[in-house]
């Protein structure tokens, strides 16, 4: 699975070539790689934009207006959920619970969380991504700009963040197996 | 009963740096793991067994018992489950983000108690920031000599690997998590024979414990069994993290002893319903749990036993509150949609059943419902969870399918008139737009 993240990082999304390469590295068939990749939501096997906007519409976010936030993002960006714009800049998706129910409704940009989002702030966020094109989607910065109530008090800001449609630290914890 | 807290103390006292190694050690961190290197395995297991600690991942199984079941062949593995994804839960995110060392120390102690030399922390892929924090904590612990060769100067070796999921709720199920960790599709394994304690990760004996469970372990050693037990009551020892969300004034994670009533929890702890609206219903223990209603359950004590007797569960401690303005059909549709999306597809009753339940609920909501739909839903539900009882008699490998039945059973039981009203009068009276989305 870390190799699939690596392949995504190389190409921006999980291409057939990427999956084939992973198959070669691991000595299994491309079909087996695809079987694994297709099981998981976060392996994007279609072209995905620089900024992946994920709007939570699960129960707690729905109760607090998550559907309205999704509609605002779709309307402002002109991208229906599940799609990417022509420039490859933005992708929009609706997601199931992202564990921010206390700060619902919640949105993620490249899996960096923003809580307490309103439809108006979601529109402003879309415009910001389009114009400012931040090199780093920083969760604390975005929370300050477009967020509201959070699930719990926010700790100090980090300087790091994600770039591209995957978590910044990519494949992690790959300690050599001794056995 | 008292109002003492343990696992959230540090993050509340030191909001800016509770996640750092320096602060963790300055507040008594890693003292217990160091101590554990000099203790015998049997003593550690007995200690945790005596503490009455129950797994905090939802199933509430005795952690000490789980440890004592670990089969003798070695190597054995420890897997810490940070795949928290159930709608309504966000407690493990807080524990990983705000106090990762606490959970790492608990994992070290657990590894020592079970003669484990390679442990894994599996974190859901969407938790980018918590995963960074945990990764940093693990690296710092390696740097300090608390992980790696000869931890704390002893002759005990322990590797700890952080692994990232990729978006699949089902990987929170322990055997699915093991499959996922091995690089497979995250499909649950059949038990028997694949009990993790006997045939787990790489077919070796494996312990799977939740993040909150791990966070409790250092405190059991630190406080001693008696003080730890005194925090809770009877069979529910220690504290419990409740994640309260939905229509309440103060949503959030609250570390509480068991034994408050639901009225205390919703109206006192969480501040009640905004704009003084009426409470309509709530989900007491995560999206999988059957719903509660104020006329029957408001003054029940919040304990595992009382909640179970009333036909639901505390599960992962996620309380989702809905006020009088909520359309229960839409709410149920949203919960069922989650399970339909997250069904791994192995078992027919779940794969087909959850999808049908979702589609039927959506057509009722949008005014296309038929009078027979309620019966059809109950029939489909019965195929997943025979007899629609609680706890469910599942026809599937894992409990995901029956979880999708909970909301359907609940609204059929308590809100039958509202479902029929939807069907007779052309859909949801509160419909503000088209039902937003289709399944992915």
Å between A108 CA and nearest CA of chain B: 9
pLDDT score for B233: 77
Contact: A155, B338; criterion CB under 8 Å: no
Which chain A residues touch B132 with a CB distance below 8 Å? Answer: 158, 160, 167-169
Q: In chain B, which residues have their Cβ closer than 8 Å to the Cβ of A103? A: 251
Q: DSSP label at B145?
A: T
CA distance A6 to A166: 9
Nearest CA in chain B to A26: B183
Mean pLDDT on A140-162 = 68
The residues, ordered by sequence, that sit 6+ positions from B218 with a Cβ below 8 Å of its Cβ are: B29, B32, B33, B102, B105, B106, B109
Would you call A92 helix, strand, or coil by DSSP? strand
pLDDT of residue B3: 66
Please indicate whether, in this complex, the C-beta atoms of B163 and A152 are within 8 angstroms of each other.
no
- Please indicate whether, in this complex, the C-beta atoms of B251 and A101 are within 8 angstroms of each other: yes
Q: In B17-30, which positions are buried (b, 16+ CB within 10 angstroms) versus exposed (e)?
A: ebbbbebbeeeebb
Lowest mean pLDDT: which of A103-117, A146-160, B12-26, B260-274? A146-160
- Please give the share of chain A, as a percent, with pLDDT higher than 70: 85
List phi, psi (to 5°) of B212.
-65, -35
User: How many angstroms separate the CA of residue B223 from the nearest CA in chain A?
Assistant: 26
Which tokens go with B180?
């996922």
In chain A, the percentage of residues whose pLDDT exceeds 90 is 69
Q: Report pLDDT for A173.
A: 28
Residue B334: closest CA among chain A residues belongs to which residue? A59
The mean pLDDT of chain A is 84
- Average pLDDT in the A18-34 region? 95
State the pTM of this model: 0.92
Q: Of A26, A60, A174, which has the smallest distance from its Cβ to B320's Cβ?
A: A60
pLDDT for A38-88, tens place per residue?
Answer: 999 999 999 999 999 999 999 999 999 999 999 999 999 999 999 999 999
Q: How confident is the model at residue B326 (pLDDT cuts 50, 70, 90)?
A: very high
Taking an 8 Å cut-off on Cβ atoms, the answer to whether B245 and A104 are in contact is yes
Interface contact flag, B89 A101, Cβ < 8 Å = yes
Report, as an integer, the average pLDDT of A113-133.
Answer: 95
Element (H, E) at B21: helix B21-26
pLDDT exceeds cutoff 50 at A141:
yes
Chain CA centroid to CA B228, Å: 21
What would the DSSP string read from start to end of B28-56?
TTTHHHHHHTTS-HHHHHHHHHHHT-B-T
What letter would DSSP give residue A177? P
Min CA distance, B30 vs chain A (Å)? Answer: 21
Query: What are the chain B neighbours of A6 within 8 Å (beta carbons)?
Result: none
Is it the case that residue B358 has pLDDT exceeding 80?
yes
Chain A neighbors of B88, CB-CB under 8 A: 59-60, 97, 101
d(CA B166, CA B210): 18
Over 70: is that where the pLDDT of B438 sits?
no
Cα nearest neighbour of A54 on chain B? B126
pLDDT tens, residue by residue, B31-73: 999 999 999 999 999 999 999 999 998 888 999 999 999 999 9
CB contact under 8 A, B126 and A162: no
Helix (H, G, I), strand (E, B) or coil at B179: helix
d(CA B390, CA B61) in angstroms, rounded, equals 17
Over range B245-260, report the average pLDDT. Answer: 89
- State the maximum Cα–Cα separation within chain B, in Å, rounded to a whole number: 73
Residue B316, SS3?
coil
Give backbone dihedrals phi and psi of B54, rounded to 5 degrees, phi first: -105, 145
> CA separation (Å) from A131 to A86, A134, B337?
16, 9, 35
Interface test with B, best of A105, A155, A162, A177 (most B CBs within 10 A): A155
Asked if residue A170 has pLDDT above 60, the reply is no
Question: Which residues of chain A have a CB within 8 Å of the CB of B344?
Answer: 39
Nearest-Cα distance to chain B for A130, in Å, is 22
Helix (H, G, I), strand (E, B) or coil at B290: coil
Confidence of residue A153 (pLDDT cuts 50, 70, 90): low
Q: Could you give the CA distance from residue A96 to residue B281 in angstroms, rounded to a whole number?
A: 21
Sign of the CA dihedral running A45, A49, A50, A56? negative
Helix spans in A108-170 (H): 119-132, 139-146
Q: Does A135 touch chain B (CB under 8 A)?
A: no
Which chain A residues contact residue B287 at CB under 8 A? 58-59, 97
What is the percent of chain B with per-residue pLDDT over 90, rounded to a whole number? Answer: 86
With 50 as the cut, is the pLDDT of residue B26 above it? yes
B291 vs B319: CA distance, rounded Å: 10
| Minimal-distance CA residue of chain A relative to B120 | A173
């Amino acid at each position: 699975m870390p190799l699939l993240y690596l392949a995504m990082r190389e190409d921006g999304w999980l291409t057939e070539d990427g999956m084939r390469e992973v198959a070669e590295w691991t000595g299994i068939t491309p079909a087996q790689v695809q079987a694994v990749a297709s099981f998981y939501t976060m392996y994007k096997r279609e072209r995905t934009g620089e900024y992946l906007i994920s709007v939570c519409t699960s129960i707690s976010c729905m109760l607090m207006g998550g559907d309205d936030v999704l509609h605002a993002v779709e309307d402002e960006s002109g991208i229906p959920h599940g799609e990417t714009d022509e420039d490859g800049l933005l992708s929009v998706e609706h997601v199931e619970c992202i564990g921010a129910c206390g700060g619902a409704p919640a949105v993620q940009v490249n899996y960096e969380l923003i809580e307490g989002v309103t439809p108006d702030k979601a529109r402003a966020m879309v415009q910001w991504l389009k114009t400012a094109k931040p090199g780093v989607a920083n969760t604390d910065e975005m929370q300050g700009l477009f967020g509201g109530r959070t699930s719990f008090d926010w700790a100090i800001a980090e300087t790091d963040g994600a770039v591209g449609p995957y978590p910044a630290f990519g494949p992690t914890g790959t300690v050599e197996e001794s056995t | 009963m008292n109002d003492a807290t343990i696992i959230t103390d540090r993050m509340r006292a030191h909001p800016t740096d509770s996640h750092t190694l320096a602060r963790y050690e300055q507040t008594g961190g890693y003292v217990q793991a160091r101590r554990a290197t000099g203790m015998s395995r049997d003593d550690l297991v007995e200690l945790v067994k005596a503490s009455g600690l129950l797994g905090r991942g939802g199933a509430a199984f005795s952690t000490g018992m789980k440890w004592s079941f670990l089969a003798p062949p070695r190597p054995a593995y420890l897997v810490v489950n940070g795949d928290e994804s159930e709608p309504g839960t966000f407690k493990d995110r807080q524990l990983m983000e705000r106090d990762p060392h606490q959970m790492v120390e608990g994992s070290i102690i657990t590894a020592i108690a079970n003669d484990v030399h390679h442990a894994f922390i599996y974190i859901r892929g969407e938790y980018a920031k918590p995963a960074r924090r945990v990764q940093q904590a693990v690296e710092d612990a390696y740097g300090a000599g608390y992980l790696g060769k000869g931890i704390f100067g002893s002759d005990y070796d322990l590797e700890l690997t952080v692994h990232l999921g990729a978006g699949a709720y089902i990987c929170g199920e322990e055997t699915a998590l093991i499959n996922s960790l091995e690089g497979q599709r995250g499909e649950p394994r059949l038990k028997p024979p694949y009990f993790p304690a006997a045939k787990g990760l790489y077919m070796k004996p494996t312990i799977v414990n939740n993040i909150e469970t791990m966070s409790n372990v250092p405190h059991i050693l630190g406080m001693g069994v008696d003080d730890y037990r005194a925090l809770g009551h009877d069979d529910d020892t220690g504290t419990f993290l409740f994640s309260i969300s939905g229509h309440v004034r103060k949503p959030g994670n609250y570390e509480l002893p068991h034994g408050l009533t639901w009225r205390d929890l919703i109206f006192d702890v969480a501040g009640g319903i905004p704009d003084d609206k009426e409470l309509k219903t709530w989900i007491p223990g995560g999206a999988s749990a059957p719903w509660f209603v104020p006329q029957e359950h408001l003054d029940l004590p919040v304990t595992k036993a009382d909640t179970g007797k009333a036909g639901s569960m505390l599960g992962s401690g996620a309380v989702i509150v809905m006020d009088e303005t909520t359309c229960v059909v839409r709410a149920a549709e949203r919960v069922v949609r989650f399970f339909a999306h997250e069904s791994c597809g192995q078992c027919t009753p779940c794969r087909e059943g959850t999808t049908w339940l979702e589609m039927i609920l959506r057509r009722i909501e949008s005014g296309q419902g038929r009078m027979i739909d309620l019966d059809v839903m109950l029939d489909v539900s019965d195929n997943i969870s025979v007899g629609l009882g609680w706890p469910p008699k599942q026809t599937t490998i894992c409990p995901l399918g029956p979880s999708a039945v909970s909301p359907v059973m609940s609204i059929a039981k308590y809100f039958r008139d509202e479902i029929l009203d939807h069907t007779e009068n052309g859909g949801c009276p509160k419909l503000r737009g088209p039902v937003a989305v289709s399944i992915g």
